[in-house]
Structures are given as C-alpha cells and as structure tokens.
Amino acid sequence: MQWEYKTIKLATSGFWVGGHLDETKFNDMLNELGRDRWELVSAFDTNQNYGATRDVVAVFKRPAQK
C-alpha cells in the first residue's frame, strides 16, 4: 500500500510558560482532517528555550489515491 502524508505546524501562545495550545482549535482541525480520511500518526513539540514549546507539529497519513 502507498501512503500520502501531511504535516501541520500549530503555533502556541503564552509568554512566561510558553506552549499553550488552543485545544478547541486543535480538536476541530483533527476532526476535519479525520473526515477527509487523514489519520494522525505522530505529534510532537518543538523547543523554544528552557523547556518552553514554540510549535506543535502533527503528522498525518492516508492511503494514496491511485
């Protein structure tokens, strides 16, 4: 089986703590991509400094269209 992949980068907010992700917006995005048959494969954060998160990266896959 062949796959196609999609990578989404989501910015976080917050100055002191860093890494606040809008969960409602993230869930809406996941549900929309799921309706389009995208499956979440992996999600991880990128480090800004002192453990603060700059972005969240989500990787999706679905069967390639032939």
- Reported as a single tens digit per residue, the pLDDT across 4-56 is 999 999 888 776 656 678 899 999 999 999 999 999 999 988 877 766 667 88
pLDDT for residue 36:
97
DSSP-derived letter for residue 53 is E
pLDDT for residue 66:
75
> Residue 51 class from Cβ within 10 Å (0-12 exposed, 13-18 middle, 19+ buried)?
exposed
Q: How far apart are CA 33 and CA 2, in angstroms?
A: 19
pLDDT for residue 65:
86
Is the pLDDT confidence value at 60 over 90? yes
- Look up the pTM and report it: 0.80
List the domain boundaries for the chain. 3-63
pLDDT for residue 51:
64
